[in-house]
Structure 1
Amino acid sequence: MKNLAILFLAVAFTCTGCATQEELYRAESHLGSKITAIRELAGENRDLINSNRDLINSSRDLINSNRDFINSSRKIQADVGADLEGLRDSVQKLRGATEKLDVQVSLLESKTEDPRSALNDISSRLTYLENYLGIGKTEDKVGEDGKVGSPEKGEPTLTGREEAYANAYSMFKSGRYEAAREEFQKFLKAFPDSEFSDNAQFWIGECDYFKGKYEEAIIEYEAVIKNYPTGNKVPNALLKQALSFLKLGDKSSAKLLLQGVIKDYPNTTPASVARKKLIDIK
């Protein structure tokens, strides 16, 4: 390219007839400087282009990195949102459980505000059960004050074994099962052959039954059957043995006892209850 420029200048000067050898060298030198400058500028531009290309590539990497960061941030935000939603559900459930507990506590407080009322309710249920099973007839002699006799009929208040029995039975009806059990045992020890003895033995079994001691209750009911076979509490004792076995999950033994009550005491209230229980077991 340099030679071409010199040749061009030589021809031009030759044609004009004015160019000298010194001017030719001068022009060549000036042109070479220009070309060198252009080359240097081109090199700088090339370096600048390369630098810009590197900057563009770095920018692309930065953009991709930012895009990954944004995607990761969105995922984290979504996870946090899900966690917050789960936390809200848990808090709502906890509030519901707390409200339910408050209601139960309120009900419990309302039930325990008047213990005497609760005892009266227990006494009423026992009276209903006794009448339904036909096991309260002998206890009709026991008055509300725990005394034996019927003042409205003009009968005198008795003492001795009747008083001891009435005291134990009154404890039982008020739900004081452990104290009643002890009193009935004392009564049997003092009066083993009285008209109330089979009843006292039966109520000992009832004390165990109502305390959830079903194995002990079965043994006490058996004592009624063996020690007082002609007493009026035998069918009731057999029935309550069956119910105790049911509480223990022994349906086979319960069925046998219920069938025995129906067979041996067909026209009694315990037999009627036994028939209903057999239907329920099936």
Structure 2
Amino acid sequence: MSPRMRKLVLLLFVLVGLAGVSGCATSKDLRRVQGDLLTRIEATEQKIAALDQTDQSIKGDARTVAESVTLLQKRQAETGADLTEAKDQIRQIRGLVDGMKKDLSSGGGRQDEMKEKVDALSSKIQFLENYLGISKKDDGKEAVHRNGGNNGKETKGKSDREILYGAAYATLKEGKYEKSRAEFQNFLKKYPRTELSDNAQFWIGESYFSEGKFEKAILEYEKVIKNYPEGDKVPPSFLKQGLAFAQLGDKTSARMILQQIIKDYPNTSSARTARTKLNELK
């Protein structure tokens, strides 16, 4: 029994005792009243205990819901990062496939089998692009078509900065790496500090990486890290540096960089890829 209830019981007994002294009730009546009071008090305390238990249960449920929401938000963020990286990789592969198709178009019948394989790969990429919402017909700011191929409507509402960036990115997708580098460098001269500048610098590194020029790619990725330290392309740039060193056979440097990514950017898709690559390098 709680201290408050004990005080209430004592008060009631005192009142009942006073009533008995004043001759308002018999001893039998007083005992009956006291018994009723005790029964009611016990029932009330049981209800209070039940309410306390319910309150604790509700608080526990609230904590569980809050933890679930936090976990869901974290998973959504991770999924978003994974999708972003997948989109970038698919776009790079699309550029390679498009370039291969152009090379094969002049190869004659001897390359028919290879052309069929490239077409099948292209179809799979198209399916993934449609699934992720990055198909050519809806590539957003990174899929602005070349000026010679649009009708003016596709660039409506876009800034000169976005048009120039999109044109360079379209060239990269076509597999014209040297030309795309020149266009991205021109973009950076005009717009060295915009929300697209770190992306442009990153794609310059990617163009070298795609050509197998890993030393030059490492240097270009380093420019992303040094010039745009707050940008979202820093973790991917570290990752690609590590992969480039691995391609060059320098596994020691590759491991050091990949381990640093995991330490400094533990919750990114780049860190997850770094863990996988580290296991492969062992």
TM-score by length of 1: 0.51
Instruction: Please name the residue that 1:248 is paired with.
Output: 248
Deviation string 1:55-86 (CA, Å, 9 cap, x unpaired) is xxxxxxxxxxxxxxxxxxxxxxxxxxxxxxxx
Equivalent position to 1:109, from 95, 100, 111 = 111
Decide whether aligned partners of structure 1 residues 206 and 140 sit closer, same or farther in structure 2, where only a CA change above 3 A counts: same
Q: Which residue of 2 aligns with 1:260?
A: 260
CA offsets 1:227-277 (integer angstroms, 9 cap, x no match): 000000000000000000000000000000000111111011000000000
Q: In structure 2, do the counterparts of structure 1 residues 202 and 119 end up closer, same or farther at CA, with 3 Å as the change threshold?
A: farther
AA at the equivalent of 1:242: G
Does residue 142 (structure 1) correspond to residue 120 (structure 2)? The answer is no
The equivalent of 2:269 in structure 1 is 269
Report if aligned partners of 1:241, 1:254 keep a CA contact under 8 Å in 2.
Answer: yes
Alpha-carbon distance in 2 for matches of 1:141, 1:159: 10
Which secondary structure does the structure 2 equivalent of 1:175 belong to? coil
CA RMSD of aligned residues (A): 3.7
Counting only pairs closer than 5 Å after superposition, residues 43-122 of structure 1 correspond to structure 2 as 109-110=111-112, 117=119, 120=122
Equivalent residue, structure 2, for 1:198: 198
Q: Which has the higher contact order (CA 8 A, sep 6+)?
A: 2
What is the deviation of 1:174? 1.5
- In structure 2, relative to structure 1, the CA distance for the partners of 1:267 and 1:279 (3 Å cut) is same
Distance 1:210 1:238, change over 3 A: same
Structure 1 contact 204–220 (Cα < 8 Å) conserved: yes
Aligned to 1:157: 157
Shift of the 113–142 alpha-carbon distance from structure 1 to 2, 3 Å rule, reads same
* Number of residue-to-residue matches in the alignment: 164
C-alpha distance 160-106 of structure 1, shift in aligned 2 (>3 A):
closer
Structure showing greater radius of gyration is 1
Which residue does 2:226 correspond to in 1? 226
Counterpart Cα distance in 2 of 1:240 and 1:269: 13
**Structure 1 position 159, deviation (Å):** 3.4
Identify unmatched segments of 5+ residues in structure 2.
1-106, 134-138, 148-153
Does structure 1 conserve the Cα–Cα contact (< 8 Å) formed by 2:262 and 2:271? yes
Runs of 4+ in structure 1 over 3 Å off: 105-108, 111-128, 143-147, 154-157
